[in-house]
Protein backbone atom coordinates (compact mmCIF):
# COMPACT_ATOMS: atom_id res chain seq x y z
CA UNK A 1 0.00 0.00 0.00
CA UNK A 2 1.27 3.35 -0.53
CA UNK A 3 0.87 2.50 3.09
CA UNK A 4 -2.50 1.15 4.20
CA UNK A 5 -4.62 4.24 4.33
CA UNK A 6 -4.97 3.16 7.38
CA UNK A 7 -30.67 -14.16 7.60
CA UNK A 8 -32.08 -15.73 11.28
CA UNK A 9 -30.64 -17.28 14.15
CA UNK A 10 -28.22 -15.34 16.31
CA UNK A 11 -25.29 -16.77 18.15
CA UNK A 12 -25.75 -15.03 21.47
CA UNK A 13 -22.69 -15.21 23.63
CA UNK A 14 -22.33 -12.65 26.37
CA UNK A 15 -18.79 -11.93 27.46
CA UNK A 16 -18.46 -9.72 30.50
CA UNK A 17 -15.07 -8.25 31.27
CA UNK A 18 -14.07 -7.52 34.84
CA UNK A 19 -14.60 -4.02 36.17
CA UNK A 20 -11.38 -2.33 37.14
CA UNK A 21 -11.90 1.09 38.66
CA UNK A 22 -9.86 3.83 37.05
CA UNK A 23 -9.34 7.21 38.62
CA UNK A 24 -9.05 9.23 35.44
CA UNK A 25 -11.08 9.73 32.29
CA UNK A 26 -9.91 8.99 28.72
CA UNK A 27 -9.04 11.87 26.43
CA UNK A 28 -9.95 14.39 29.09
CA UNK A 29 -13.61 13.34 29.34
CA UNK A 30 -14.71 13.28 32.98
CA UNK A 31 -17.58 10.81 32.64
CA UNK A 32 -18.42 8.31 35.35
CA UNK A 33 -17.56 4.69 34.45
CA UNK A 34 -20.43 2.73 32.90
CA UNK A 35 -21.27 -0.63 31.37
CA UNK A 36 -21.39 -0.78 27.57
CA UNK A 37 -23.27 -3.33 25.49
CA UNK A 38 -21.76 -4.07 22.05
CA UNK A 39 -23.73 -5.88 19.37
CA UNK A 40 -20.83 -7.41 17.44
CA UNK A 41 -20.46 -9.40 14.25
CA UNK A 42 -16.69 -9.34 14.81
CA UNK A 43 -15.86 -12.52 16.73
CA UNK A 44 -12.09 -12.40 16.68
CA UNK A 45 -9.91 -12.06 19.79
CA UNK A 46 -11.89 -9.23 21.30
CA UNK A 47 -11.42 -9.89 24.97
CA UNK A 48 -7.81 -8.83 25.49
CA UNK A 49 -8.22 -5.47 23.77
CA UNK A 50 -11.39 -4.62 25.64
CA UNK A 51 -9.89 -5.74 28.93
CA UNK A 52 -7.15 -3.18 28.36
CA UNK A 53 -9.80 -0.54 27.73
CA UNK A 54 -11.52 -1.48 30.99
CA UNK A 55 -8.22 -1.28 32.84
CA UNK A 56 -7.64 2.25 31.55
CA UNK A 57 -11.15 3.65 31.93
CA UNK A 58 -13.13 1.57 34.42
CA UNK A 59 -15.81 1.05 31.74
CA UNK A 60 -16.90 -2.56 31.34
CA UNK A 61 -17.88 -4.01 27.98
CA UNK A 62 -20.34 -6.81 27.26
CA UNK A 63 -20.95 -8.45 23.88
CA UNK A 64 -23.87 -9.95 22.06
CA UNK A 65 -22.47 -11.80 19.08
CA UNK A 66 -24.30 -12.54 15.85
CA UNK A 67 -24.20 -12.01 12.10
CA UNK A 68 -24.31 -8.52 10.63
CA UNK A 69 -27.79 -8.81 9.13
CA UNK A 70 -29.30 -10.48 12.18
CA UNK A 71 -27.88 -7.93 14.59
CA UNK A 72 -29.15 -5.04 12.48
CA UNK A 73 -32.62 -6.59 12.41
CA UNK A 74 -32.46 -7.03 16.18
CA UNK A 75 -31.57 -3.37 16.63
CA UNK A 76 -34.51 -2.33 14.49
CA UNK A 77 -36.97 -4.60 16.29
CA UNK A 78 -35.83 -3.48 19.75
CA UNK A 79 -36.10 0.18 18.85
CA UNK A 80 -35.61 2.59 21.74
CA UNK A 81 -35.67 -0.32 24.19
CA UNK A 82 -32.46 -1.85 22.87
CA UNK A 83 -29.71 -2.34 25.45
CA UNK A 84 -27.09 -1.87 22.73
CA UNK A 85 -24.68 1.06 22.87
CA UNK A 86 -22.41 0.14 19.96
CA UNK A 87 -23.08 -1.72 16.69
CA UNK A 88 -19.93 -3.42 15.36
CA UNK A 89 -19.77 -5.13 11.96
CA UNK A 90 -17.30 -6.77 9.61
CA UNK A 91 -18.65 -5.14 6.46
CA UNK A 92 -18.88 -1.48 5.48
CA UNK A 93 -22.16 -2.09 3.68
CA UNK A 94 -23.93 -3.03 6.91
CA UNK A 95 -22.62 0.09 8.63
CA UNK A 96 -23.96 2.17 5.75
CA UNK A 97 -27.31 0.38 5.97
CA UNK A 98 -27.53 0.90 9.73
CA UNK A 99 -26.91 4.61 9.25
CA UNK A 100 -29.38 4.81 6.35
CA UNK A 101 -32.04 3.19 8.55
CA UNK A 102 -31.38 5.80 11.25
CA UNK A 103 -30.04 3.32 13.81
CA UNK A 104 -26.77 5.17 14.46
CA UNK A 105 -26.03 8.53 16.06
CA UNK A 106 -23.80 11.18 14.53
CA UNK A 107 -20.56 11.65 16.47
CA UNK A 108 -18.49 14.80 16.64
CA UNK A 109 -14.99 13.52 17.40
CA UNK A 110 -11.77 15.17 16.23
CA UNK A 111 -9.93 12.11 17.59
CA UNK A 112 -11.81 9.76 15.28
CA UNK A 113 -11.64 12.13 12.32
CA UNK A 114 -7.88 12.33 12.66
CA UNK A 115 -7.34 8.59 13.22
CA UNK A 116 -9.63 7.21 10.49
CA UNK A 117 -9.11 8.08 6.80
CA UNK A 118 -12.04 9.78 5.10
CA UNK A 119 -13.14 6.84 2.93
CA UNK A 120 -13.19 4.57 6.00
CA UNK A 121 -15.76 6.65 7.90
CA UNK A 122 -19.20 8.11 7.39
CA UNK A 123 -19.13 11.77 6.29
CA UNK A 124 -21.75 12.51 8.98
CA UNK A 125 -19.81 10.66 11.70
CA UNK A 126 -22.39 7.89 12.18
CA UNK A 127 -19.83 5.07 11.79
CA UNK A 128 -16.07 4.62 11.65
CA UNK A 129 -13.82 1.88 10.32
CA UNK A 130 -11.58 0.45 13.03
CA UNK A 131 -9.71 -2.38 11.28
CA UNK A 132 -8.84 -3.03 7.66
CA UNK A 133 -8.99 -6.43 5.94
CA UNK A 134 -7.73 -7.11 2.41
CA UNK A 135 -9.47 -9.70 0.22
CA UNK A 136 -6.78 -10.78 -2.15
CA UNK A 137 -5.37 -13.71 -4.10
CA UNK A 138 -3.44 -16.51 -2.39
CA UNK A 139 -1.64 -19.28 -4.25
CA UNK A 140 0.40 -22.47 -3.95
CA UNK A 141 3.95 -21.55 -4.99
CA UNK A 142 4.62 -25.11 -6.20
CA UNK A 143 1.85 -24.73 -8.77
CA UNK A 144 1.80 -21.03 -9.62
CA UNK A 145 4.36 -18.53 -10.77
CA UNK A 146 3.10 -15.13 -9.56
CA UNK A 147 3.99 -13.77 -13.00
CA UNK A 148 0.91 -15.68 -14.21
CA UNK A 149 -1.37 -13.19 -12.47
CA UNK A 150 -2.65 -10.10 -14.24
CA UNK A 151 -1.20 -7.20 -12.22
CA UNK A 152 -3.58 -4.73 -13.86
CA UNK A 153 -6.87 -6.51 -13.05
CA UNK A 154 -6.11 -9.61 -11.00
CA UNK A 155 -9.70 -10.53 -10.07
CA UNK A 156 -10.84 -10.38 -13.71
CA UNK A 157 -7.62 -12.09 -14.77
CA UNK A 158 -8.81 -15.27 -13.05
CA UNK A 159 -11.35 -15.62 -15.88
CA UNK A 160 -8.49 -16.55 -18.25
CA UNK A 161 -8.88 -20.18 -19.43
CA UNK A 162 -5.42 -20.97 -18.03
CA UNK A 163 -7.06 -21.02 -14.58
CA UNK A 164 -9.58 -23.68 -15.62
CA UNK A 165 -10.01 -26.15 -12.75
CA UNK A 166 -7.52 -24.29 -10.56
CA UNK A 167 -9.76 -21.89 -8.59
CA UNK A 168 -11.40 -22.05 -5.16
CA UNK A 169 -13.54 -19.23 -3.74
CA UNK A 170 -16.04 -18.45 -0.97
CA UNK A 171 -19.73 -19.24 -1.25
CA UNK A 172 -22.27 -16.82 -2.67
CA UNK A 173 -23.94 -16.16 0.69
CA UNK A 174 -20.78 -14.76 2.31
CA UNK A 175 -20.74 -10.99 2.78
CA UNK A 176 -17.07 -11.12 1.71
CA UNK A 177 -18.08 -12.47 -1.72
CA UNK A 178 -21.01 -10.11 -2.10
CA UNK A 179 -18.99 -7.02 -1.20
CA UNK A 180 -16.20 -8.02 -3.59
CA UNK A 181 -18.72 -8.31 -6.42
CA UNK A 182 -20.42 -5.06 -5.35
CA UNK A 183 -17.03 -3.34 -5.53
CA UNK A 184 -16.57 -4.65 -9.09
CA UNK A 185 -20.00 -3.27 -10.04
CA UNK A 186 -19.04 0.06 -8.49
CA UNK A 187 -15.68 0.01 -10.24
CA UNK A 188 -16.79 -0.67 -13.83
CA UNK A 189 -20.49 -1.46 -13.91
CA UNK A 190 -22.77 -4.47 -13.66
CA UNK A 191 -21.96 -5.83 -17.13
CA UNK A 192 -18.25 -5.95 -16.25
CA UNK A 193 -18.91 -7.64 -12.90
CA UNK A 194 -21.19 -10.18 -14.58
CA UNK A 195 -18.46 -11.07 -17.08
CA UNK A 196 -15.97 -11.56 -14.27
CA UNK A 197 -18.24 -13.79 -12.17
CA UNK A 198 -19.35 -15.76 -15.24
CA UNK A 199 -15.68 -16.25 -16.11
CA UNK A 200 -14.96 -17.71 -12.69
CA UNK A 201 -17.90 -20.08 -13.07
CA UNK A 202 -16.83 -21.06 -16.59
CA UNK A 203 -13.40 -21.91 -15.18
CA UNK A 204 -15.03 -24.41 -12.82
CA UNK A 205 -14.52 -22.48 -9.60
CA UNK A 206 -14.95 -24.70 -6.54
CA UNK A 207 -17.02 -22.85 -3.95
CA UNK A 208 -16.33 -23.45 -0.26
CA UNK A 209 -18.06 -22.37 2.95
CA UNK A 210 -15.15 -20.63 4.72
CA UNK A 211 -11.72 -19.15 4.14
CA UNK A 212 -9.88 -21.74 6.21
CA UNK A 213 -11.11 -24.50 3.88
CA UNK A 214 -9.85 -22.44 0.95
CA UNK A 215 -6.38 -22.14 2.47
CA UNK A 216 -6.26 -25.83 3.33
CA UNK A 217 -7.25 -26.70 -0.24
CA UNK A 218 -4.51 -24.48 -1.69
CA UNK A 219 -1.93 -25.91 0.72
CA UNK A 220 -2.94 -29.48 -0.20
CA UNK A 221 -2.79 -28.76 -3.94
CA UNK A 222 -6.53 -29.24 -4.42
CA UNK A 223 -6.68 -25.68 -5.79
CA UNK A 224 -3.84 -23.57 -7.09
CA UNK A 225 -5.45 -20.20 -6.35
CA UNK A 226 -8.08 -18.78 -4.00
CA UNK A 227 -9.38 -15.39 -2.89
CA UNK A 228 -9.37 -14.94 0.90
CA UNK A 229 -9.15 -12.32 3.61
CA UNK A 230 -5.50 -11.77 4.40
CA UNK A 231 -5.78 -12.36 8.14
CA UNK A 232 -6.96 -15.96 7.70
CA UNK A 233 -3.68 -16.67 5.94
CA UNK A 234 -1.76 -14.89 8.70
CA UNK A 235 -3.50 -17.00 11.37
CA UNK A 236 -2.75 -20.23 9.55
CA UNK A 237 0.89 -19.26 9.02
CA UNK A 238 1.22 -18.38 12.68
CA UNK A 239 0.04 -21.89 13.56
CA UNK A 240 2.02 -23.57 10.78
CA UNK A 241 4.91 -21.57 9.27
CA UNK A 242 5.38 -24.34 6.69
CA UNK A 243 1.95 -23.80 5.16
CA UNK A 244 2.51 -23.81 1.40
CA UNK A 245 0.42 -20.73 0.62
CA UNK A 246 1.56 -17.23 -0.26
CA UNK A 247 -0.31 -13.94 -0.77
CA UNK A 248 -0.41 -11.89 -3.95
CA UNK A 249 -1.56 -8.29 -3.76
CA UNK A 250 -4.24 -8.01 -6.43
CA UNK A 251 -4.41 -5.32 -9.12
CA UNK A 252 -1.39 -3.32 -8.02
CA UNK A 253 -1.04 -1.80 -11.48
CA UNK A 254 -4.76 -1.06 -11.61
CA UNK A 255 -7.50 -0.24 -9.11
CA UNK A 256 -5.74 -1.86 -6.16
CA UNK A 257 -6.63 -4.69 -3.80
CA UNK A 258 -10.22 -4.94 -2.59
CA UNK A 259 -10.53 -4.15 1.12
CA UNK A 260 -13.32 -4.02 3.66
CA UNK A 261 -13.49 -2.89 7.27
CA UNK A 262 -14.46 -3.90 10.73
CA UNK A 263 -16.14 -0.82 12.11
CA UNK A 264 -18.66 0.51 14.57
CA UNK A 265 -21.25 3.17 15.22
CA UNK A 266 -23.00 4.39 18.35
CA UNK A 267 -26.58 3.19 18.60
CA UNK A 268 -28.92 6.16 18.42
CA UNK A 269 -30.82 5.20 21.61
CA UNK A 270 -27.71 4.34 23.65
CA UNK A 271 -27.92 5.26 27.34
CA UNK A 272 -24.15 5.89 27.42
CA UNK A 273 -23.19 7.67 24.19
CA UNK A 274 -20.20 9.52 25.68
CA UNK A 275 -18.67 6.31 27.02
CA UNK A 276 -19.39 4.59 23.71
CA UNK A 277 -17.61 7.41 21.89
CA UNK A 278 -14.71 7.03 24.30
CA UNK A 279 -14.48 3.34 23.41
CA UNK A 280 -14.47 4.07 19.69
CA UNK A 281 -11.79 6.73 20.12
CA UNK A 282 -9.65 4.33 22.12
CA UNK A 283 -10.02 1.58 19.51
CA UNK A 284 -8.93 3.95 16.74
CA UNK A 285 -6.10 5.64 18.63
CA UNK A 286 -4.37 4.41 21.80
CA UNK A 287 -5.87 0.92 21.55
CA UNK A 288 -5.56 0.49 17.78
CA UNK A 289 -2.74 -2.07 17.97
CA UNK A 290 -4.52 -3.96 20.76
CA UNK A 291 -7.62 -4.17 18.59
CA UNK A 292 -6.09 -5.28 15.28
CA UNK A 293 -2.88 -7.16 16.07
CA UNK A 294 -4.30 -10.32 17.64
CA UNK A 295 -6.37 -10.96 14.51
CA UNK A 296 -3.62 -9.83 12.10
CA UNK A 297 -5.81 -7.07 10.65
CA UNK A 298 -4.35 -3.87 9.26
CA UNK A 299 -4.79 -0.71 11.31
CA UNK A 300 -6.99 1.98 9.82
CA UNK A 301 -4.92 4.58 11.65
CA UNK A 302 -2.05 5.55 9.32
CA UNK A 303 0.17 6.34 12.31
CA UNK A 304 0.02 2.74 13.56
CA UNK A 305 2.27 0.05 12.08
CA UNK A 306 0.87 -3.38 11.16
CA UNK A 307 1.98 -6.31 13.30
CA UNK A 308 5.22 -8.05 12.19
CA UNK A 309 3.81 -11.10 10.39
CA UNK A 310 1.71 -9.17 7.90
CA UNK A 311 4.27 -6.37 7.71
CA UNK A 312 6.58 -8.93 6.08
CA UNK A 313 4.24 -9.08 3.10
CA UNK A 314 5.05 -5.52 2.18
CA UNK A 315 2.91 -2.51 1.40
CA UNK A 316 0.12 -2.52 -1.14
CA UNK A 317 -2.23 -0.10 -2.88
CA UNK A 318 -5.87 -0.63 -1.99
CA UNK A 319 -9.15 0.22 -3.63
CA UNK A 320 -10.94 3.03 -1.87
CA UNK A 321 -13.79 1.73 0.28
CA UNK A 322 -17.21 2.80 -0.96
CA UNK A 323 -19.54 1.77 1.87
CA UNK A 324 -22.60 3.06 0.04
CA UNK A 325 -21.76 0.86 -2.95
CA UNK A 326 -21.18 -2.19 -0.75
CA UNK A 327 -24.59 -1.61 0.83
CA UNK A 328 -26.66 -0.20 -2.00
CA UNK A 329 -25.27 -2.55 -4.66
CA UNK A 330 -25.50 -5.68 -2.53
CA UNK A 331 -28.78 -6.80 -4.11
CA UNK A 332 -27.27 -6.41 -7.58
CA UNK A 333 -24.22 -8.40 -6.48
CA UNK A 334 -26.46 -11.21 -5.24
CA UNK A 335 -28.30 -11.17 -8.60
CA UNK A 336 -25.03 -11.26 -10.56
CA UNK A 337 -23.85 -14.31 -8.60
CA UNK A 338 -27.16 -16.08 -9.09
CA UNK A 339 -27.39 -15.30 -12.80
CA UNK A 340 -23.91 -16.75 -13.34
CA UNK A 341 -24.79 -19.95 -11.48
CA UNK A 342 -22.12 -19.22 -8.89
CA UNK A 343 -22.73 -21.73 -6.09
Rounded Cα gap, residues 295 and 261, in angstroms: 13
Rounded Cα gap, residues 132 and 121, in angstroms: 12
| 305, 146 contact by CB (below 8 A) | no
Rounded Cα gap, residues 337 and 343, in angstroms: 8
Whole-structure pTM value: 0.87
Q: CA separation (Å) from 97 to 94, 240, 258, 324?
A: 5, 38, 20, 8
Q: Where in the chain is the domain with CATH 3.40.190.10?
A: 35-132+260-306, 133-258+316-339
| 88, 38 contact by CB (below 8 A) | yes
* Fold designation for 35-132+260-306: D-Maltodextrin-Binding Protein; domain 2 (3.40.190)
CATH tag for 133-258+316-339 (out of 3.30.428.10, 3.40.190.10, 1.20.810.10, 3.40.250.10) = 3.40.190.10
- The predicted-structure confidence for 165-176, as pLDDT tens digits, reads as follows 999 999 999 999
Average pLDDT over residues 58-84: 94
Helix %, strand %, coil % of the chain (to 5): 40, 15, 40
- The predicted-structure confidence for 76-101, as pLDDT tens digits, reads as follows 999 999 999 999 999 999 999 999 99
Amino acid sequence: MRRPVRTAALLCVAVTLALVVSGCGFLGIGDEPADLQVYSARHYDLEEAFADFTDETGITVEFLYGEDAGLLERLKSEGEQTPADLFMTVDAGYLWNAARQDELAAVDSPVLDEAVPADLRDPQGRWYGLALRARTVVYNPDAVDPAEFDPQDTYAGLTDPKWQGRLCMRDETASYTQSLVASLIDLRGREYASRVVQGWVDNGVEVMSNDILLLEAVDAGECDVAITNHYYLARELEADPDLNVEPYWASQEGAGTHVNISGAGIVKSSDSPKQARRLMEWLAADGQSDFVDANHEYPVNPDVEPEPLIAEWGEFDRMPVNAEAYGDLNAQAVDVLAEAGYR
